[in-house]
Structure 1
Amino acid sequence: MIEELGFSIACYHGDLPLLRGCLASIKYFAPDAPICLITDGNFSTRSLERDYSAVTLRRADVRNKDLQKWSYGYGLTKMVGLWESPFERFVHIDADAVLWGDIRKNIPPGNFDFVFNEPHEIITEKIQCAQYFDPTLVFPIFPYFPWRDCPFFNSGVFVTRRDLFDMDEYMRLLEFQRVTPGSLLAGEQGILNFMVFNALHTGRLTAASTHLQSAVPVLAKPELESRFRFENGHPVPWFQPTVIHWAGPKPWADNLEIFRDPMDHFRDIATKGSLLHALLPGTRYAEFDEWMCRDVLKSLANLKKQVKNFIRN
């Protein structure tokens, strides 16, 4: 029996083309799962709420004023769900990812507070300081824990309980990140890894690692094509459920070098009923969708900001 878990996805307007594929994959592989979208910015999610029975947590809905003020932007938006999610326990998945099987089946038995992805690469000193945190900067300020053998994880997919972490600690780490460049890296990834392994060291939570995701940048294209195949237009399950995560270059329609078939497939499913999809065949609709969400909306947002500045001055 699969324990019912919510899915939490953080997004801004530029994520919408990939978010549609992400949501379509959840509906395909985990149709009973409730979904919460945590949005950064003012854009409509009405059609997504309708099509995927999703709820939206907007910035104005966030009760904690510190979270509302400081925990938005690259990577940080997802952290809001650690305290404000409507689900007591949930799977976080980045918008640039799709399910390939029901990932809930991979969660190990036991009442673990936090479940993270098994190590997907060897963490060298260079990777440690580029993707997680710089111990020489962090530990003079924050409590030390034996970090060298910790299996630090990519935070694109994880399972957690709500209200598990200390809010004051998070706010101190956020402030330190703002004033100390190069200390806590990759948006929220360094902060979340620090909080998880610090709490593990002090016995404040229980955790387990398991296979949750396949990180596209660390797998060769032939391996990806072998793992994630289609037969008669349908996904062929791999030997275990996984989340395909484009943790690096994104599977945009104009990115011809990257392996992107699974995202293309689910984006196509998500938009197939629209009139524009019928009028723009092949990748033309995907290109139009990306142009609207990434370029036009960004330009409108910048214009709005410039007008406000002009009025103030």
Structure 2
Amino acid sequence: MEKKFGVVITCYPGDVHFAQASYMSVCHFLGPETRVCFIVDGDPGCLGEVLRDENVTTLTRQDVVDPRLQATGFGWGFTKMVGFWHSPFEESLYLDADAIVWGNVIEQFYKHGYDFIVDQQKSYSDAEIAFWFFAPQEIVKHYPDFDFAQFRARYACTGTFFARRGALDLQEWYDIAMLQKCDPDVFLFGGEMGPLNFLWAYGCQRELLRILSVKYQVIPVDHEDSELRQYYSPEALRANRIKPAVLHFCGKKPNIFTRSVKVASMNYFRKRYLLEKAKLSPWRAQLLMAWQDIRFVLVPWLRRGVSKVKKLLGLIPN
């Protein structure tokens, strides 16, 4: 693999246990020599034993000096934006913390000569574009020449993509991020997915960006258990019948309190990290995974549930 290429993973202390599994999947499928950069919103020490790997580097808030990126480059969804200008790699595969490599996705999908390679799942209706990305009737008020319908089959979940460093203009990103803050009617879903998809599409329309759309992201909750068991599970890995992809566990987060095949691959690499990198015994690894899931999955779920009940009872304002 060329030295100018690497993998970029973002995380914060609340999802670092997923990021460690993501790192483990990179080591397994792409090789332990693969260079990885973690963009950490918080103390990079949370990465633990990952930092012992000489092929691992980190980026934090202290590494960002541009005030525009300081203002818009961190927080839920936004931390990944730092990599577009500060990644140590000329070209990279980006992964959310809750995404893992599955097979040699580099070999099958990576192509030279593109600024971005993004996932391609379906053709989105206007209502779906408005929900997931941006309100079409609102975005054209600010960018009247933007032909949003031209890209309805190319909008993508931004949990993974291939990117060339410097492909996006920082000022354009800052402008659209400020629009998101100032006009809440444009980007209804929140996070970076709407603004980033707009920048990709608008840049492509103006022939400023070269973008390839390829179906390579698998979101387990959107697939049948039989398919996952056949191609995207630890069982499939042992039988060597995997299909190269990036598995992105967005939505309901994986935890060890379920035996569902929809979370099995993430839990598999979580445990492998604790056994092989952190050198824990099997029972200590299992206990730590349980503690992580209670703290970062079940407790937040209970808090949201209590908040909803209080709202229904009128104890707190909607």
Q: TM-score, normalised by structure 1?
A: 0.85
2:213 paired with 1:209 = yes
2:288 alignment counterpart = 285
Taking CA–CA contacts closer than 8 Å with sequence separation of 6 or more, which of the two structures ends up with the larger relative contact order?
Answer: 1
Matches within 5 A, 1:142-181: 142-150=143-151, 151-181=154-184
Instruction: Answer whether contact 1:115 1:158 (CA < 8 A) is retained.
Output: yes
Unpaired stretches in structure 1, ≥5 consecutive residues: 297-313
2:127 alignment counterpart = 126
How far apart, CA to CA, are the structure 1 residues paired with 2:215 and 2:221? 16
When residues 2 and 70 of structure 1 are mapped into structure 2, their CA distance, relative to the original with a 3 A threshold, is closer
How far apart, CA to CA, are the structure 2 residues paired with 1:73 and 1:63? 17
2:269 paired with 1:266 = yes
Unpaired stretches in structure 2, ≥5 consecutive residues: 300-318
| 1:61-81 Cα shifts (integer Å, max 9, x gaps) | 113222122221111000110
1:198 alignment counterpart = 202
The CA deviation at 1:98 is 1.2
When residues 72 and 143 of structure 1 are mapped into structure 2, their CA distance, relative to the original with a 3 A threshold, is farther
2:64 maps to a residue whose letter is: V
1:299 alignment counterpart = none
The CA deviation at 1:294 is 6.9
The CA deviation at 1:275 is 6.3
Instruction: Answer whether contact 2:44 2:58 (CA < 8 A) is retained.
Output: no
How far apart, CA to CA, are the structure 2 residues paired with 1:76 and 1:235? 38
Instruction: Answer whether contact 1:35 1:52 (CA < 8 A) is retained.
Output: no
Instruction: Answer whether contact 1:36 1:86 (CA < 8 A) is retained.
Output: yes
| 1:26-67 Cα shifts (integer Å, max 9, x gaps) | 000012321000011225135212147310101111132221
2:209 maps to a residue whose letter is: L
Query: What is the aligned counterpart of 2:249 among 246, 251, 260?
Result: 246
The CA deviation at 1:173 is 0.8
The CA deviation at 1:144 is 2.7
When residues 43 and 241 of structure 1 are mapped into structure 2, their CA distance, relative to the original with a 3 A threshold, is same
How far apart, CA to CA, are the structure 2 residues paired with 1:28 and 1:48? 14
Report how many aligned residue pairs link the two structures: 293
How far apart, CA to CA, are the structure 1 residues paired with 2:288 and 2:48? 20
The CA deviation at 1:142 is 2.5
Query: What is the aligned counterpart of 2:227 among 223, 228, 232?
Result: 223
How far apart, CA to CA, are the structure 2 residues paired with 1:188 and 1:232? 33
2:77 alignment counterpart = 75
When residues 52 and 25 of structure 1 are mapped into structure 2, their CA distance, relative to the original with a 3 A threshold, is farther
When residues 217 and 230 of structure 1 are mapped into structure 2, their CA distance, relative to the original with a 3 A threshold, is closer
User: What is the SS of the residue equivalent to 1:187?
Assistant: coil
Instruction: Answer whether contact 2:203 2:209 (CA < 8 A) is retained.
Output: yes
1:18 alignment counterpart = 18
Instruction: Answer whether contact 2:44 2:60 (CA < 8 A) is retained.
Output: no
Q: TM-score, normalised by structure 2?
A: 0.84
User: What is the SS of the residue equivalent to 1:123?
Assistant: coil
How far apart, CA to CA, are the structure 2 residues paired with 1:294 and 1:222? 26
1:127 maps to a residue whose letter is: E
When residues 176 and 84 of structure 1 are mapped into structure 2, their CA distance, relative to the original with a 3 A threshold, is same
2:306 alignment counterpart = none
1:115 alignment counterpart = 117
| 1:259-304 Cα shifts (integer Å, max 9, x gaps) | 11111111111001546544436x43311234466799xxxxxxxx
The CA deviation at 1:163 is 0.9
Which has the larger displacement, 221-230 or 53-62? 221-230
